[in-house]
Amino acid sequence: MNLAVIQMVSQDDVQTNLRLARRMLERAAQGGARLAVLPENFAAMGRRDLAAIGRAEALGEGPILPWLKRAARDLSLWIVAGTLPLPPDDDADGKPHACSLLIDDQGERVARYDKLHLFDVDVADNRGRYRESDDFAHGQRVVVADTPVGRLGLTVCYDLRFPELFGALREAGAELISVPAAFTAVTGAAHWQVLTRARAIETQCYVLAAGQGGEHPGQRLTFGHSAIIDPWGQVLAEQDQGEGALLAPRDAAEQANIRQRMPVQQHRRIFSSDVPRPIVVE
């Protein structure tokens, strides 16, 4: 049951990004992948018209969702669609969420996760100040869903710094966790690899960390180093910079053995009351 993560260097032109993403997804499918994870902001980086993009998609007037569904059908591939700037399902004019969609191999939406933790920080890079909450609303729900390669928990980028979210996903039965991301070069060099491995070790899940890796509009630099990490914390595949499709198998029997030999889930004694109740998509 091959897993795939896609690394990109997305720009501000949607059609160019979609053509690149299609090529990477084709590589993943040719390599035997059943599930592929696209990075955060895969369809556009550096755009200031996020609300308009999201509204058009929600009204069926945008190019991204039809492209995504067609790619899943054509390639017989389950796809985690990094993030899209989508408004709430019940309000096309609402403030958009940084939304990660899970699409099945028939092109149907299985799950939607709206990013819980927004990146409102100061970073010592060319940009200096990041305020995602200026453009996006916070998500409210923890989401897991069944896929052909195991039960998948969905997260996005900055979520990686909040282990209580990952613990909630594991408690809800997650066996794999997707982390589409666009980590800055500065924060990525300091923390990306240790955090992705830590989250895999803590949850005993496969972590599918699909990043942006290069230079984007506005001289924004992202760290890359997309990776597939197994439940023991071993890096099965990794790419430092540039575009690529990484593949690795899921060994369900070995994952079960790890969890049996070290039953950390049964040993947990600290619980947070403010973690949202998981939404399990059957």
Parallel, antiparallel or unpaired: strands 176-181 and 150-154 = parallel
Rounded-to-integer distance, Cα 197 and Cα 205, Å: 10
Of 57, 115, 175, 205, the catalytic one is 115
Structure tokens at 156: 């996005």
Ranges of residues in the chain with a pLDDT under 70 are: 1, 270-277, 282
Active-site residue flag, 157: yes
Nearest to 210 by CA among 4, 43, 18: 4
Strand-pairing partners, residue 113, are 100
The pLDDT of residue 273 = 59
Domains in the chain: boundaries:
1-113+140-278
The pLDDT of residue 219 = 85
Rounded-to-integer distance, Cα 279 and Cα 121, Å: 28
The pLDDT of residue 218 = 86
Of 40, 57, 238, 243, the catalytic one is 40
Strand-pairing partners, residue 279, are 143
The pLDDT of residue 130 = 87
Of 157, 175, 205, 243, the catalytic one is 157
The pLDDT of residue 274 = 62
For 85-138, write each residue's pLDDT tens digit: 999 988 878 899 999 999 999 999 999 999 999 999 999 887 888 899 999 999
Rounded-to-integer distance, Cα 23 and Cα 21, Å: 5
Strand-pairing partners, residue 219, are none
The pLDDT of residue 247 = 98
Active-site residue flag, 115: yes
The SS3 of residue 266 is helix
Q: Tell me which DSSP letter residue 132 carries.
A: G
Q: What CATH architecture applies to the domain 1-113+140-278?
A: 4-Layer Sandwich (3.60)
CB-based contact 3:152 (threshold 8 Å) = no
Rounded-to-integer distance, Cα 202 and Cα 196, Å: 10
Structure tokens at 185: 């070069």
Strand-pairing partners, residue 248, are 3
The SS3 of residue 220 is strand
Single-letter amino acid code for the residue at 23: R
